Structure 1
């Protein structure tokens, strides 16, 4: 079936450059308890930082890229 991986290994969060912008996606966050988890909050802050150009999407924070 199209879209199915034999190894069942699917990305649950990713970043991508698109045109002149940046995209962050996560499949997490469908339940309230997920939003209360500090690990998820860090993931969201990192993703928002990426789309704002504050980090490179590697998970490491740093100065804004020019």
Structure 2
């Protein structure tokens, strides 16, 4: 349906979106290479620490609409 996203938690030495995509192109099949790279301070999590994947999709589905 949509395009793959790369959600990245990075510190001060954050890579560029192009660098993340290039890295993925070297290691992943073409259908898994992200079209968008989104940098976050942290992942949204449940109270027990699991990543809220649906929340990530909800927050960033606007990128896939472009």
Interval containing the TM-score (normalised by the shorter chain): under 0.3
TM-score relative to the length of structure 1: 0.21
More helix by share: 2
Q: Which has the higher contact order (CA 8 A, sep 6+)?
A: 2
